[in-house]
Amino acid sequence: MELDFSRYVEEFRTLNLKDPGTWPLVPKIAVLLLVLIAIPVMGYFADWQGQMEELDAGRTQEVKLKDEYVKKKTQAVNLDLHKQQLREIDTQFGALLKQLPNRSQMDALLVDINQAGLGRGLQFELFKPAGGEITGESYNELPIQLRVTGTYHDMGAFASDVGQLSRIVILKDIAMQAQKDGNLVMDAVARTFRYLDEEEVAARRRAQSASKAAKK
């Protein structure tokens, strides 16, 4: 059975828009289908789209809140472990701090460095502070210029002895030059550190506070 499309076209062309009750069956069905399709489409753009966007935003927020919950739960579970690690860090820091001399112990440390060189048979041609102390947050650094003469073996032993001192001493900027008699001349900077006592820390804080107040 062949469809007569020309007849259907003619039916649509001759429709009386003021009296839909007189329309043929095919135009009625076509208009009904269009209405059934248009209603959900219009509903989507008029209302459902906003609701779906809110739903997507809610899902994103849900994922974010779950992640935050898991992180906070992990932190709570590991709180005792973090406290233990903090106590260990404080203990290690205290042990390191004890390796720094205070102001009254600096002279003794300088004597120890000098004795370490003399004990290895080295001759000091220069042993003096290289400028003033370099200020740190909770400690000061004191660089000391050294120039010693001796054999390569004795200088190596001296460097090892300095590294084994009870206080922290670092040899840097090392330069060696051979002499005609077979000995070496070594120029270096021994960097040692001392921690600030409570009085010095308090004085520094007062100075920083005064400086900030002056800038305001």
Cβ–Cβ < 8 Å for 81, 75: no
pLDDT digits (tens, 9 = 90+) for 84-143: 777 777 666 666 666 666 666 777 888 888 899 999 999 999 988 877 777 766 677 888
Alpha helices in the chain (DSSP H): 5-13, 25-43, 49-77, 79-98, 106-119, 152-163, 198-215
For 135, other C-beta atoms within 10 Å of its C-beta total 11
Backbone angles phi, psi at 152, to 5 degrees: -60, -45
- In the chain the domains, ranked by start, together with CATH numbers, are 1-77 (no CATH), 101-201 (3.30.70.60)
Whole-number Cα distances in Å, 19 to 14, 16, 22, 87: 12, 6, 6, 90
3-state secondary structure of 95: helix
The reply to whether the predicted model has a pTM over 0.85 is no
Q: Are strands 134-135 and 123-129 parallel, antiparallel or unpaired?
A: unpaired
Span 31-57, pLDDT tens digits: 777 777 777 767 666 665 566 677 777
